[in-house]
């Protein structure tokens, strides 16, 4: 075997080199050994062995030095070579075949000068022996050093290019921030212009933060310090959030942005939602950046044939595509497809490197197919968990309350629940108002309670067919209230309402005595379907379900942040308006709780927002509320402060469609 210098790495061992097994039997005469070496000038040594025993290694140098001496030549030329080996009593350097090349070089350099060029005995598996010529070893070491030097030079060149690009990427937003800050300091602009400049400063600040996060993520990956969580999360919610965020970039370019499911939609998968969202944000962001006509389409599906099941998202774009010769570098750090990409579109060249590393950390991979001028397809796969006891929907559960899935028909009067008597228990006014409206319009009779104690009182005083029970409330929570109701002989269906979507929370609700389980933000279709099961018309409802159609989520609205509820219905308009005002007050309560380090209160306020924000049609608040709740639980003051600041900024942009159209 002849080694390939381009296959050598710092971890290469002696097995990667040319090991020789030329051998002679121990009974071979010395004169025959001498003739053997003369006939084979390419060999610097020979193994002396038979099928029973390994005697050692005789080098060309040792052989000729002894055979040319008059006494030794006469003595050993007619005797077996094993006697010459025993006479020399030389202990040749012996190494295991798994020894690194660098270690072997250190060993030979440490030998006495007299034996510096002696071949090395290499012990292999099953007690087999080979030998390695010193010339081969030293040539390999030189090749390895030259290759490492070339790799280091290339890496240094790439990093130099990266630093040049990064300098440009950082200076551009900094110029915007400093420039518009200077204008604001002079105080000569109108309020409208001031707001416009503040928006520019904020966006440039976000861009800078993204650059810094990329650098930190790459550093974590290279240091092996990136940590991954395993949490239950909604894949459709994550995709919806990504599209909702990226629509701001897609709309000015006239690009469509949509998602289609090619399989049943899992209610939950078990992965790291933050990292999954990070990958999708990067892939969709790149697709929008490199596309000038057409648009971007996400195709999502669940692959249950894989063990464990995998969640797959393909990001299709109609952009510029990638040249075949550049495909091999597309996932390399500090590089983009070619330098013209950096000049035309900007970017650090870190995003896809980080995405692939994260995908592998999530048990999957990231691959790409592309054709110049036709666009690209990035295919992301991540482990989805065991998927045990996970609901699979024919259409997405739409936790984000998108306008496409929540049309007026959900709020208009119908006879769907036909006088079903419902006790609604929830401490959130927005939740009570919205659920009451939907159920009342479906001809249910709704009685409301604000906590567990009121629920017990209402139950004793009235007749009900069903109870909707919020599980986290002040004074008496839903778990306690449900247990008390069951202990008093209550056999009514009790449907849990909770913003906690973990599998353990579902189990906890059922163990407390609940009959069913709904997550917040309230999904109106799921609410009507679940409550409808306990209605006298439940069979008719099931039979009259419309034929399922492929689901396609499109995003084409604009800043400010709009409620996804149809607020042209007066009752819903009032609900959203009340939520916006209450939300602004809650933000200040959150800040006060944080300042006083009242972590329990902050956690409760974040939990309130996690369920209520989406119910009011602002699904974009849900993930931030989840992160704030987690920060409060971990008592992470800096993270909580940043999240509250971001929520406050978003709060200033919340509005209803009616408010926008009236401007």
Q: Are residues 374 and 242 in the same domain?
A: yes
Q: Is 399 domain-assigned?
A: no
Shared domain check, 178 and 207: yes
CATH number at residue 608: 1.20.120.160
* Residue at which a domain ends, from 195, 223, 251: 223
* Domain end marker among 194, 223, 252: 223
Residues 146 and 128 placed together within one structural domain of the fold: no
pLDDT beyond 80 at 292: yes
Residue 331 shares a structural domain with residue 237 = yes
- Tell me whether residue 552 is in a domain: no
Higher pLDDT, 649 or 376: 376
Read off the DSSP letter of residue 306.
Answer: S
One domain for residues 93 and 166 = no
Same domain, 168 and 127: no
Contact 532, 416 (CB under 8 A): yes
Give the domain CATH number at 472: 3.40.50.2300
Parent domain of 655? 561-661
Per residue in 208-262, pLDDT tens? Answer: 877 777 777 767 666 666 778 888 888 988 888 788 777 767 878 888 888 888 8
Q: What torsion, rounded to 10 degrees, do the Cα atoms 197, 202, 206, 207 define?
A: 10
Using the predicted structure, report yes or no on whether residue 85 has a pLDDT greater than 90: no
pLDDT range class, residue 84, cuts 50, 70, 90:
confident
Residues 6+ apart with CB under 8 A from 183: 189, 197
Q: How far apart are CA 353 and CA 56, in angstroms?
A: 51
Q: How far is CA 515 from CA 507, 521, 535, in A?
A: 11, 19, 14
Range from 213-217, 375-379, 473-477 that averages highest in pLDDT: 375-379
DSSP code of 112? -
More confident residue, 269 or 503: 269
Question: Which region among 340-344, 517-521, 522-526 has the lowest average model confidence (pLDDT)?
Answer: 340-344
Give mean pLDDT, residues 427-456.
87
CA dist list (Å): 415 to 49, 412, 444, 528 = 96, 10, 8, 12
Question: Residue 410: is its pLDDT beyond 50?
Answer: no
Q: Name the pTM for this structure.
A: 0.40
Q: Is the pLDDT of residue 407 over 50?
A: no
Instruction: Please answer whether residues 68 and 37 qualify as being in contact, where contact means their C-beta atoms are separated by less than 8 angstroms.
Output: no
Q: Measured between alpha carbons, how far is residue 105 from residues 17, 110, 140, 444, 644 in Å?
A: 13, 9, 10, 85, 60
Tokens of 615: 């119910």
pLDDT at site 412: 45
- N-term to C-term CA, the chain: 79
Total number of domains constituting the chain: 5
What pLDDT shows up at residue 328?
Answer: 73
* Of 89 and 588, the one with more pLDDT: 588
Q: What percent of the chain has pLDDT over 90?
A: 14
Q: Output the six-digit token pair for 85.
A: 């080996």
Confidence of residue 114 (pLDDT cuts 50, 70, 90): low
Same-domain pairing of 235 and 218: no
Q: What is the pLDDT of residue 16?
A: 82
pLDDT tens digit string along 611-639? 788 777 787 787 788 888 888 888 888 88
The pair of structure tokens assigned to 11 is 């971890």
The yes-or-no verdict on residue 659 having pLDDT over 50 is no
Spatial separation of the C-alpha atoms in residues 541 and 152, rounded to whole Å: 68
In a domain, 556, yes or no: no
Cα atoms in the Cβ-side hemisphere of radius 13 Å centred on 51: 0
Banded pLDDT at 339 (limits 50, 70, 90): very low
CB 398 within 8 A of CB 523: yes
Average pLDDT over residues 469-480: 88
- Find out whether 173 and 208 touch, Cβ atoms under 8 Å: yes
Cβ atoms < 10 Å from Cβ of 182: 9
**Mean pLDDT, residues 400-416:** 43
Same structural domain for residues 273 and 370? yes
Per-residue model confidence as pLDDT tens digits over 144-169: 888 888 878 877 776 766 666 666 66
Claim to verify: residue 119 and residue 261 sit in the same structural domain: no
What residues form DSSP beta bridges with 446? 422
Contacts of 67 (CB under 8 A, 6+ apart): 30, 31, 33, 34, 73, 76, 77
pLDDT at res. 465? 87
What ranges in 520-569 are assigned the alpha helix state H? 524-532, 538-543
C-alpha to C-alpha distance for 339 and 298, rounded to whole angstroms: 28
| Together in a domain, 340 and 451 | no
Q: Which CATH number belongs to the domain containing residue 167 in this structure?
A: 1.10.287.130
Q: What percent of the chain has pLDDT over 70?
A: 79
Residue 323 pLDDT > 60:
yes
Cα–Cα distance between 237 and 381 in angstroms, integer? 17
Supply the pLDDT for residue 542: 39
Model pLDDT, residue 362: 92
Give the pLDDT score at 378: 94
Three-state secondary-structure class, residue 51: coil
pLDDT, residue 402, reads: 35
Q: Which two tokens stand for residue 427?
A: 């401490």
List pLDDT tens digits, range 178-195: 888 888 887 766 778 888
Report the mean per-residue pLDDT for the chain.
Answer: 78
Residue 71 has pLDDT above 60, yes or no: no
Domain boundary among 189, 223, 257: 223
Tell me: do 531 and 618 sit in the same domain. Answer: no
CATH number at residue 112: 3.10.580.10
- Which DSSP helix (H) or strand (E) runs through 623? helix 620-634
The residue whose two tokens read 């998968």 is 269
Q: Which pLDDT score, from 0 to 100, does residue 10 have?
A: 74
Closest CA to 541 of 373, 394, 417: 417
Higher pLDDT, 501 or 268: 268
Q: What per-residue confidence (pLDDT) applies to 561?
A: 77
- Residue of 322 and 117 predicted with greater confidence: 322
3-state secondary structure of 382: strand
Q: How confident is the model at residue 42 (pLDDT cuts 50, 70, 90)?
A: confident
DSSP codes joined into one string, 255-289? -EEEEEESS-EES-EEE-HHHHHHHHHHHHHHHHH
Q: 398 in a domain, yes or no?
A: no
Which residues on neighbouring strands pair with residue 315, listed in sequence order?
A: 298, 378
Q: Is the pLDDT of residue 317 over 90?
A: yes
Q: Which residue has the tokens 């400049």?
A: 197
Q: What is the mean pLDDT of residues 444-450?
A: 91
Same domain for 294 and 333: yes
């Amino acid at each position: 075997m002849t080694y390939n210098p381009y296959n050598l790495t710092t971890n290469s061992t002696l097995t990667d080199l040319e090991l020789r097994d030329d051998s002679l039997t121990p009974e071979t005469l010395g004169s025959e050994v001498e003739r053997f070496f003369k006939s084979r000038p390419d060999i610097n040594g020979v193994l002396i062995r038979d099928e029973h025993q390994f005697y050692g290694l005789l080098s060309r140098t040792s052989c000729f030095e002894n055979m040319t001496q008059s006494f030794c030549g006469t003595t050993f030329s007619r005797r077996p070579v094993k006697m010459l080996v025993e006479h020399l009593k030389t202990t040749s350097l012996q190494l295991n075949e798994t020894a690194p090349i660098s270690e072997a070089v250190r060993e030979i350099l440490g030998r006495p000068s007299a034996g510096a060029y002696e071949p090395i005995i290499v012990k292999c598996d099953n007690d087999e022996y080979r030998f390695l010529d010193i010339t081969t070893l030293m040539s390999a070491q030189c090749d390895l050093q030259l290759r490492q030097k070339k790799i280091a030079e290339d890496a240094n060149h790439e990093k130099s290019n990266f630093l040049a690009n990064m300098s440009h990427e950082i200076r551009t937003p900094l110029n915007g921030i400093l420039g518009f800050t200077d204008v604001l300091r002079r105080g000569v602009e109108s309020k409208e212009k001031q707001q416009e400049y503040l928006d520019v400063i904020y966006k440039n600040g976000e861009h800078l933060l993204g650059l810094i996060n990329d650098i930190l993520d790459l550093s974590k990956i290279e240091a092996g310090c990136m940590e991954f969580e395993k949490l239950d999360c909604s894949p459709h919610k994550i995709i919806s959030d990504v599209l909702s965020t990226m629509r701001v970039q897609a709309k000015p370019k006239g690009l469509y942005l949509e998602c289609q499911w090619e399989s049943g939609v899992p209610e939950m998968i078990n992965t790291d939602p933050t990292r999954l969202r990070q990958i999708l944000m990067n892939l969709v962001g790149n697709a929008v950046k490199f596309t000038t006509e057409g648009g971007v389409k996400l195709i999502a599906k669940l692959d249950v044939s894989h063990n464990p099941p995998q969640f797959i998202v393909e990001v299709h774009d109609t952009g510029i595509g990638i040249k075949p010769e550049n495909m091999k570098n597309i996932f390399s750090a500090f590089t983009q497809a070619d330098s013209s990409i950096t000049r035309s579109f900007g970017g650090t060249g870190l995003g896809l490197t980080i995405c692939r590393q994260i995908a592998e950390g999530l048990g999957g991979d990231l691959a790409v197919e592309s054709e110049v001028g036709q666009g690209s397809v990035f295919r992301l796969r991540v482990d989805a968990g065991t998927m045990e006891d996970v609901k699979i929907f024919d259409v997405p559960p739409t936790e984000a309350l998108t306008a496409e899935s929540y049309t007026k028909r959900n709020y208009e009067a119908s006879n769907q629940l036909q006088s079903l008597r419902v006790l609604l228990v929830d401490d959130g006014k927005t939740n009570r108002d919205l659920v009451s409206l939907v159920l009342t319009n479906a001809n249910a009779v709704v009685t409301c309670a604000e906590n567990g104690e009121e629920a017990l009182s209402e139950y004793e005083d009235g007749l009900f067919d069903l109870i909707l029970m919020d599980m986290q409330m002040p004074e008496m929570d839903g778990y306690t209230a449900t247990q008390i109701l069951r202990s008093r002989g209550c056999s009514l269906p009790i449907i849990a309402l909770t913003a906690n979507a973990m599998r353990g929370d579902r189990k906890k609700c059922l163990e407390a005595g609940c009959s069913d389980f709904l997550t917040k933000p309230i999904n109106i279709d799921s609410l009507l379907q679940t409550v409808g099961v306990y209605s006298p018309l439940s069979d008719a409802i099931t039979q009259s379900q419309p034929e399922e159609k492929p689901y396609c989520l499109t995003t084409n609205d604009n800043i400010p942040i709009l409620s996804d509820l149809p607020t042209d219905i007066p009752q819903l308009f009032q609900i959203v308006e009340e939520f916006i005002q209450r939300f602004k007050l809650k933000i200040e309560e959150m800040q006060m709780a944080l300042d006083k380090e009242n972590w329990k209160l902050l956690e409760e306020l974040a939990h309130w927002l996690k369920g209520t924000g989406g119910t009011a049609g602002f699904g974009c608040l849900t993930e931030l509320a989840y992160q704030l709740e987690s920060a409060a639980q971990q008592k992470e003051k800096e993270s909580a402060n940043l999240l509250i600041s971001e929520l406050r900024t978003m709060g200033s942009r919340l509005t209803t469609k009616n408010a926008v159209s009236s401007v």
